[in-house]
Amino acid sequence: MKTLLDLDVNNKKVIIRCDFNVPLKDGKITDDTRIVAALPTIKYCLDNNAKVILLSHLGRVKEEADLAKNDLSPVAERLSELLEQDILFSTETRGQELEDAVQMLQPKDVLLIQNTRYEDLDGNKESSNDEELGAYWASLGDVFINDAFGTIHRAHASNCGIASHLPSAFGFLIEKELTALSELDNPEHPFVVILGGAKVSDKIGVIENLVTKADKILIGGGMAFTFLKAKGLEIGKSLLDEENIEFCKKVLTDYPDKIVLPIDVAVTNEYTDDEEYRTKSIEEIATDEMGLDIGPKTEELFEKETASAKIVVWNGPLGVYEFSKYKKHTDKLLAYLVNNNIKTILGGGDIVAAAANAGYKDKVYHASTGGGATLEYMEGKKLPGIEAIK
Ligand code: AMP
């Protein structure tokens, strides 16, 4: 893997694509985690005398009204505090003013360019990887570092476009993600996959890619009910992904020993946190009940299945973790994996949010920061942002 350690950045204009897509409220940053996460790569470049040019997207820009609310200048302010130095900010994504600012850069200076998606207003140029735009941004620098993992599954001008014109490498953040996720390419065995979350449709690619590599796939969450339905069981009002019943049947037929389904579930009558729930065996679900979490026997079964795993990858919570009553088994299984030092990769999205809420995010082997990017990696797809640098 080519990382920034392989590039000479001394006295060079180094373009770094960061992920500064931070939550904002009334123009104020409410969570600066992503800015903090970008610091090691930026600091390395500054320590090595680079002239740093930063690019990032923020939100989506579809119409004029989106410009002001996705203005990147609050990031410049916060970055200045974190780096304890002045940050130059270009309000334009292209033009003379920006080019002059770049020309004036001295080693250890930092210039942040306005939201790359401002370019989407005129013909979706950033998001469609417009050739001219990628070449233009590349012309501002000498080398390129991609450190925005969250967009690595997309071919945009600010990642793939620039990379096709300059010597390029990954930053520390992407290196960390890819080092961890690459363990899924040729996993150590036993290799156990845990899948939960809402829909089977979101996980079909992951199942298809990992079912041959995994020793077991444990299925919980809303998606388990489509599998149970495929086995001919009554699932009441539980989540059903009707279109994918046939897919589930096929997986169960082709891999009968690999797929592990819940044996008991927490059921209730309404989708709310307020009502009491009952634990029932999966054969006992009534027509007016819905399952919102796995049950304790399933929890025990999942612990048994992961006990000797050399590596576990987990995507999607086992229940409606947003409700206090139905996060129980997601939290307990996380605790089990952490307390037993089982090497666990959390595959981004809601399972990472659940782990963060329960205090396990920093205790697992790796909690991926990517949502769609991680899922596509787990699907075995070639990701444009990786290919562009390879
Ligand atoms: P995903 O984005 O596919 O990982 O799905 C996460 C969502 O799945 C969360 O919002 C959970 O509330 C939801 N979920 C998990 N288990 C269930 C369930 N048994 N019934 C309905 N939704 C569920």
**Is 347 a pocket residue for ligand 1 (Cβ < 6 Å)?**
no
Q: Would you place residue 64 in the very low, low, confident or very high pLDDT band (cuts 50, 70, 90)?
A: very high
CATH number of the 4-172 domain: 3.40.50.1260
Question: Considering the chain, what percentage of its residues have pLDDT values greater than 90?
Answer: 98
Q: How far is the CA of 300 from the centre of ligand 1 (A)?
A: 21
**Active-site residue flag, 199:** yes
Q: How far is the CA of 58 from the centre of ligand 1 (A)?
A: 26
Q: Which of 199, 213, 249, 361 is catalytic?
A: 199
Q: Which of 141, 221, 349, 370 is catalytic?
A: 349
Q: How far is the CA of 223 from the centre of ligand 1 (A)?
A: 8
**Is 241 a pocket residue for ligand 1 (Cβ < 6 Å)?**
no
Cα distance between residue 40 and residue 146, in whole Å: 13
Q: How far is the CA of 196 from the centre of ligand 1 (A)?
A: 7
Cα distance between residue 315 and residue 193, in whole Å: 8
Cα distance between residue 205 and residue 207, in whole Å: 6
3-state secondary structure the chain: CCEHHHCCCCCCEEEEECCCCCCEECCEECCCHHHHHHHHHHHHHHHCCCEEEEECCCCCCCCCHHHHHCCCHHHHHHHHHHHCCCCEEECCCCCHHHHHHHHHCCCCCEEEECCHHHHHCCCCCCCCCCHHHHHHHHCCCCEEEECCHHHCCCCCHHHHHHHCCCCEEECHHHHHHHHHHHHHCCCCCCEEEEECCCCCHHHHHHHHHHCCCCCEEEECCCCHHHHHHHCCCCCCCCCCCHHHHHHHHHHHHHCCCCEECCCEEEEECCCCCCCCCEEEEHHHCCCCCEEEEECHHHHHHHHHHHCCCCEEEEECCCCCCCCHHHCHHHHHHHHHHHHCCCCEEECCCHHHHHHHHHCCCCCCCEECCCCHHHHHHHCCCCCHHHHHHC
pLDDT at res. 348: 87
Hunting for tokens 């939201």 — which residue is that?
115
**Is 201 a pocket residue for ligand 1 (Cβ < 6 Å)?**
no
Q: How far is the CA of 17 from the centre of ligand 1 (A)?
A: 32
| Residues 42, 78 contacting (CB under 8 angstroms) | no
pLDDT at res. 336: 98
Reply yes or no on whether the pLDDT at 148 is more than 90. yes
pLDDT at res. 371: 87
Reply yes or no on whether the pLDDT at 370 is more than 90. no
Q: Would you place residue 378 in the very low, low, confident or very high pLDDT band (cuts 50, 70, 90)?
A: very high
**Is 262 a pocket residue for ligand 1 (Cβ < 6 Å)?**
no
φ and ψ at residue 279, rounded to 5 degrees:
-95, 130
**Active-site residue flag, 328:** no
Atom of ligand 1 nearest to the CA of 291: 19
**Is 295 a pocket residue for ligand 1 (Cβ < 6 Å)?**
no
User: Would you give the end-to-end CA distance of the chain in angstroms?
Assistant: 7
**Nearest CA-CA partner of 151 in 378, 352, 379, 376:** 376
| Residues 172, 40 contacting (CB under 8 angstroms) | yes
pLDDT at res. 268: 98
**Is 202 a pocket residue for ligand 1 (Cβ < 6 Å)?**
yes
**Active-site residue flag, 231:** no
Q: What is the mean pLDDT of residues 59-83?
A: 96
From atom 2 of ligand 1, which residue's Cα is the shortest distance away? 197
Tell me the per-residue pLDDT of 8-42, one tens digit each, with 9 for 90 and over. Answer: 999 999 999 999 999 999 889 999 999 999 999 99
Reply yes or no on whether the pLDDT at 242 is more than 90. yes
Asked if the peptide bond before residue 262 counts as cis, ω within 30 degrees of 0, the response is no
Reply yes or no on whether the pLDDT at 228 is more than 90. yes
| Residues 27, 75 contacting (CB under 8 angstroms) | no
- What pairing do the DSSP bridges indicate for beta strands 278-281 and 264-268? antiparallel
Please report, for the chain, the start and end positions of each structural domain, with discontinuous segments joined by +: 4-172, 185-378
CATH number of the 185-378 domain: 3.40.50.1260
Tell me the per-residue pLDDT of 243-276, one tens digit each, with 9 for 90 and over. Answer: 999 999 999 999 999 999 999 999 999 999 999 9
Q: How far is the CA of 322 from the centre of ligand 1 (A)?
A: 9
Reply yes or no on whether the pLDDT at 212 is more than 90. yes
| Residues 389, 2 contacting (CB under 8 angstroms) | yes
Q: What is the mean pLDDT of residues 296-310?
A: 98
Task: Decide: residue 389, CB within 10 A, 0-12 exposed, 13-18 middle, 19+ buried.
Answer: buried
| Residues 337, 309 contacting (CB under 8 angstroms) | no
| Residues 99, 92 contacting (CB under 8 angstroms) | no
**Is 319 a pocket residue for ligand 1 (Cβ < 6 Å)?**
yes
Q: Would you place residue 359 in the very low, low, confident or very high pLDDT band (cuts 50, 70, 90)?
A: very high
From atom 11 of ligand 1, which residue's Cα is the shortest distance away? 320
Task: Decide: residue 132, CB within 10 A, 0-12 exposed, 13-18 middle, 19+ buried.
Answer: exposed
Q: How far is the CA of 86 from the centre of ligand 1 (A)?
A: 44
Q: Do the first three CATH levels of 4-172 and 185-378 match, i.e. the same topology?
A: yes
Atom of ligand 1 nearest to the CA of 203: 3
In a mutational test of the pocket of ligand 1, which residue from 203, 206, 239, 269 has the highest number of ligand atoms less than 8 Å from its CB? 239
From atom 6 of ligand 1, which residue's Cα is the shortest distance away? 197
- The total number of residues shown for the chain amounts to 390
Q: Which of 12, 13, 17, 34 is catalytic?
A: 34
**Active-site residue flag, 349:** yes
Q: How far is the CA of 4 from the centre of ligand 1 (A)?
A: 38
